[in-house]
Protein backbone atom coordinates (compact mmCIF):
# COMPACT_ATOMS: atom_id res chain seq x y z
CA UNK A 1 0.00 0.00 0.00
CA UNK A 2 2.76 2.42 0.95
CA UNK A 3 4.66 1.50 -2.21
CA UNK A 4 1.64 2.26 -4.42
CA UNK A 5 1.06 5.54 -2.60
CA UNK A 6 4.71 6.51 -3.08
CA UNK A 7 4.55 5.68 -6.79
CA UNK A 8 1.35 7.70 -7.17
CA UNK A 9 2.92 10.67 -5.36
CA UNK A 10 6.07 10.51 -7.47
CA UNK A 11 4.01 10.33 -10.64
CA UNK A 12 1.90 13.31 -9.58
CA UNK A 13 5.01 15.36 -8.81
CA UNK A 14 6.49 14.49 -12.20
CA UNK A 15 3.27 15.42 -14.00
CA UNK A 16 3.19 18.81 -12.26
CA UNK A 17 6.84 19.40 -13.17
CA UNK A 18 6.14 18.65 -16.84
CA UNK A 19 3.11 20.97 -16.72
CA UNK A 20 5.23 23.80 -15.29
CA UNK A 21 7.95 23.23 -17.87
CA UNK A 22 5.42 23.31 -20.71
CA UNK A 23 3.89 26.50 -19.36
CA UNK A 24 7.22 28.25 -18.82
CA UNK A 25 8.77 27.25 -22.14
CA UNK A 26 6.57 26.11 -25.00
CA UNK A 27 3.40 27.98 -24.00
CA UNK A 28 5.29 31.23 -23.44
CA UNK A 29 7.21 30.93 -26.70
CA UNK A 30 4.02 30.24 -28.65
CA UNK A 31 2.44 33.33 -27.12
CA UNK A 32 5.45 35.43 -28.12
CA UNK A 33 5.42 34.07 -31.67
CA UNK A 34 1.70 34.79 -31.84
CA UNK A 35 2.21 38.42 -30.83
CA UNK A 36 5.00 38.79 -33.41
CA UNK A 37 2.69 37.33 -36.05
CA UNK A 38 -0.04 39.81 -35.06
CA UNK A 39 2.40 42.68 -35.59
CA UNK A 40 3.40 41.32 -39.00
CA UNK A 41 -0.26 41.04 -40.02
CA UNK A 42 -0.95 44.60 -38.89
CA UNK A 43 1.93 45.90 -41.00
CA UNK A 44 1.21 43.82 -44.10
CA UNK A 45 -0.93 44.83 -47.04
CA UNK A 46 -3.84 42.82 -48.39
CA UNK A 47 -2.84 39.91 -50.61
CA UNK A 48 -1.45 36.37 -50.58
CA UNK A 49 1.30 37.20 -48.08
CA UNK A 50 -1.18 38.56 -45.56
CA UNK A 51 -3.45 35.57 -46.09
CA UNK A 52 -0.53 33.25 -45.36
CA UNK A 53 0.27 35.15 -42.18
CA UNK A 54 -3.34 34.91 -41.04
CA UNK A 55 -3.25 31.15 -41.67
CA UNK A 56 -0.03 30.81 -39.68
CA UNK A 57 -1.55 32.85 -36.85
CA UNK A 58 -4.57 30.57 -36.79
CA UNK A 59 -2.36 27.49 -36.50
CA UNK A 60 -0.31 29.08 -33.72
CA UNK A 61 -3.52 29.83 -31.81
CA UNK A 62 -4.74 26.26 -32.20
CA UNK A 63 -1.39 24.82 -31.14
CA UNK A 64 -1.46 27.11 -28.11
CA UNK A 65 -4.92 25.80 -27.28
CA UNK A 66 -3.66 22.21 -27.41
CA UNK A 67 -0.67 23.02 -25.20
CA UNK A 68 -2.82 24.78 -22.59
CA UNK A 69 -5.23 21.87 -22.64
CA UNK A 70 -2.41 19.37 -22.12
CA UNK A 71 -1.10 21.45 -19.22
CA UNK A 72 -4.55 21.27 -17.66
CA UNK A 73 -4.64 17.48 -18.08
CA UNK A 74 -1.22 17.09 -16.49
CA UNK A 75 -2.30 19.17 -13.51
CA UNK A 76 -5.61 17.36 -13.12
CA UNK A 77 -5.70 14.00 -14.86
CA UNK A 78 -8.76 12.77 -12.98
CA UNK A 79 -11.33 14.72 -14.99
CA UNK A 80 -14.20 12.85 -16.62
CA UNK A 81 -14.14 12.40 -20.38
CA UNK A 82 -17.13 14.74 -20.71
CA UNK A 83 -15.37 17.49 -18.78
CA UNK A 84 -12.18 17.17 -20.81
CA UNK A 85 -14.14 17.28 -24.06
CA UNK A 86 -16.23 20.26 -22.94
CA UNK A 87 -13.17 22.24 -21.85
CA UNK A 88 -11.32 21.68 -25.12
CA UNK A 89 -14.41 22.43 -27.20
CA UNK A 90 -14.84 25.78 -25.47
CA UNK A 91 -11.20 26.65 -26.11
CA UNK A 92 -11.48 25.75 -29.80
CA UNK A 93 -14.59 27.88 -30.31
CA UNK A 94 -12.91 30.99 -28.90
CA UNK A 95 -10.88 31.48 -32.09
CA UNK A 96 -12.64 29.25 -34.62
CA UNK A 97 -16.13 29.70 -36.13
CA UNK A 98 -17.28 26.12 -35.74
CA UNK A 99 -20.19 24.52 -33.93
CA UNK A 100 -19.32 21.51 -31.78
CA UNK A 101 -22.24 19.32 -30.77
CA UNK A 102 -21.74 16.91 -27.87
CA UNK A 103 -24.31 14.11 -28.17
CA UNK A 104 -22.69 11.88 -25.56
CA UNK A 105 -24.98 10.76 -22.75
CA UNK A 106 -24.59 12.72 -19.52
CA UNK A 107 -23.46 9.49 -17.83
CA UNK A 108 -20.87 8.63 -20.50
CA UNK A 109 -17.33 8.00 -19.33
CA UNK A 110 -14.40 5.69 -19.98
CA UNK A 111 -12.30 3.57 -17.61
CA UNK A 112 -9.63 5.69 -15.95
CA UNK A 113 -6.79 3.58 -17.39
CA UNK A 114 -7.69 4.49 -20.99
CA UNK A 115 -9.53 7.81 -20.60
CA UNK A 116 -6.60 10.16 -21.17
CA UNK A 117 -5.24 8.30 -24.19
CA UNK A 118 -8.64 8.17 -25.86
CA UNK A 119 -9.25 11.85 -25.18
CA UNK A 120 -5.88 12.81 -26.64
CA UNK A 121 -6.80 10.91 -29.79
CA UNK A 122 -10.16 12.68 -29.97
CA UNK A 123 -8.44 16.02 -29.40
CA UNK A 124 -6.10 15.35 -32.33
CA UNK A 125 -9.05 14.46 -34.56
CA UNK A 126 -10.89 17.66 -33.61
CA UNK A 127 -7.76 19.70 -34.24
CA UNK A 128 -7.33 18.11 -37.67
CA UNK A 129 -10.94 18.99 -38.53
CA UNK A 130 -10.40 22.63 -37.59
CA UNK A 131 -7.12 22.86 -39.51
CA UNK A 132 -7.95 21.00 -42.69
CA UNK A 133 -11.61 20.23 -43.33
CA UNK A 134 -13.06 23.77 -43.44
CA UNK A 135 -16.05 22.38 -41.54
CA UNK A 136 -18.64 24.65 -39.95
CA UNK A 137 -19.92 21.97 -37.59
CA UNK A 138 -18.85 18.73 -35.97
CA UNK A 139 -20.53 16.25 -33.65
CA UNK A 140 -19.48 13.49 -31.29
CA UNK A 141 -21.73 10.63 -30.30
CA UNK A 142 -21.38 7.08 -29.02
CA UNK A 143 -23.11 3.73 -28.95
CA UNK A 144 -22.54 0.30 -27.48
CA UNK A 145 -22.27 -2.54 -29.99
CA UNK A 146 -21.32 -6.14 -29.19
CA UNK A 147 -19.85 -4.95 -25.89
CA UNK A 148 -17.59 -2.51 -27.77
CA UNK A 149 -17.60 1.23 -27.16
CA UNK A 150 -18.03 3.18 -30.40
CA UNK A 151 -17.17 6.86 -30.54
CA UNK A 152 -18.20 8.61 -33.77
CA UNK A 153 -16.95 12.06 -34.71
CA UNK A 154 -18.56 13.62 -37.78
CA UNK A 155 -18.00 16.90 -39.60
CA UNK A 156 -19.45 18.64 -42.65
CA UNK A 157 -16.11 19.65 -44.14
CA UNK A 158 -14.45 18.75 -47.42
CA UNK A 159 -14.19 14.97 -48.03
CA UNK A 160 -11.39 13.31 -46.10
CA UNK A 161 -9.00 11.40 -48.36
CA UNK A 162 -8.93 8.06 -46.56
CA UNK A 163 -6.96 6.44 -49.41
CA UNK A 164 -4.19 9.02 -49.03
CA UNK A 165 -4.18 8.42 -45.27
CA UNK A 166 -3.77 4.67 -45.81
CA UNK A 167 -1.20 4.99 -48.59
CA UNK A 168 0.87 7.85 -47.12
CA UNK A 169 0.25 7.92 -43.37
CA UNK A 170 3.41 9.94 -42.73
CA UNK A 171 1.64 12.90 -44.37
CA UNK A 172 -0.87 12.82 -41.51
CA UNK A 173 1.32 12.69 -38.40
CA UNK A 174 -1.37 13.88 -36.00
CA UNK A 175 -3.97 11.39 -37.18
CA UNK A 176 -1.36 8.65 -37.35
CA UNK A 177 -0.56 9.31 -33.70
CA UNK A 178 -4.27 9.19 -32.84
CA UNK A 179 -4.64 5.83 -34.59
CA UNK A 180 -1.55 4.43 -32.88
CA UNK A 181 -2.89 5.47 -29.46
CA UNK A 182 -6.17 3.67 -30.10
CA UNK A 183 -4.46 0.56 -31.47
CA UNK A 184 -2.23 0.37 -28.39
CA UNK A 185 -5.44 0.13 -26.37
CA UNK A 186 -6.61 -2.80 -28.52
CA UNK A 187 -9.06 -0.68 -30.50
CA UNK A 188 -9.26 0.65 -34.03
CA UNK A 189 -9.81 4.01 -35.72
CA UNK A 190 -11.45 4.21 -39.15
CA UNK A 191 -12.53 6.96 -41.57
CA UNK A 192 -15.44 6.96 -43.99
CA UNK A 193 -17.74 9.34 -45.87
CA UNK A 194 -21.52 9.16 -45.53
CA UNK A 195 -24.35 11.57 -46.43
CA UNK A 196 -21.94 14.46 -47.10
CA UNK A 197 -20.25 13.95 -43.73
CA UNK A 198 -16.78 12.79 -42.77
CA UNK A 199 -17.04 10.06 -40.15
CA UNK A 200 -14.27 9.03 -37.81
CA UNK A 201 -15.12 5.95 -35.75
CA UNK A 202 -13.17 4.81 -32.72
CA UNK A 203 -13.97 1.27 -31.58
CA UNK A 204 -12.79 0.19 -28.14
CA UNK A 205 -13.18 -3.29 -26.64
The better pLDDT of the pair 56, 140 is held by 140
Question: Checking DSSP bridges between strand 137-145 and strand 99-102, what pairing results, if any?
Answer: parallel
- Quote the pLDDT of residue 89: 92
CA dist 46 and 200 (Å) reads 37
> Of the ranges 77-81, 105-109, 174-178, 197-201, which is most confident?
197-201
pLDDT digits 0-9 by tens, 4-60? 444 445 566 666 676 676 666 667 777 787 888 888 888 887 788 888 887 887 778
- Quote the pLDDT of residue 197: 93
Would you place residue 171 in the very low, low, confident or very high pLDDT band (cuts 50, 70, 90)? very low
Q: Are 149 and 204 in contact (CB under 8 A)?
A: yes
- In this prediction the pTM is 0.75
Mean pLDDT for the stretch of residues 157-180: 70
- Quote the pLDDT of residue 15: 64
Smallest Cα–Cα separation from 53: which of 67, 30, 36?
36
Mean pLDDT for the stretch of residues 157-175: 65
Smallest Cα–Cα separation from 58: which of 36, 27, 37?
37
Domain 80-205 bears CATH identifier 3.30.565.10: yes
List CB contacts of 20: < 8 A, sequence separation 6 or more.
none
- Quote the pLDDT of residue 31: 79
CA distances from 185 to 44, 84, 99, 147 (A): 48, 19, 29, 15
Residue 7, CA atoms < 13 Å, CB-side half-sphere:
4
In this structure, the number of other CB atoms found within 10 A of the CB of residue 145 comes to 9
CA distances from 142 to 102, 123, 157 (A): 10, 16, 20
Would you place residue 173 in the very low, low, confident or very high pLDDT band (cuts 50, 70, 90)? low
Q: What percent of the chain has pLDDT over 90?
A: 31
The better pLDDT of the pair 193, 34 is held by 193
- Quote the pLDDT of residue 156: 95
Amino acid sequence: MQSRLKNFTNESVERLKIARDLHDTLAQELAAIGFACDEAIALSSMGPSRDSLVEVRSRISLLGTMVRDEIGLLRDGNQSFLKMFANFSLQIKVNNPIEISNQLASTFDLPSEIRLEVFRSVREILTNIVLHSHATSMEITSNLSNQNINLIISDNGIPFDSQSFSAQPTHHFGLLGARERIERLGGKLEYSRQDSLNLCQIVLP
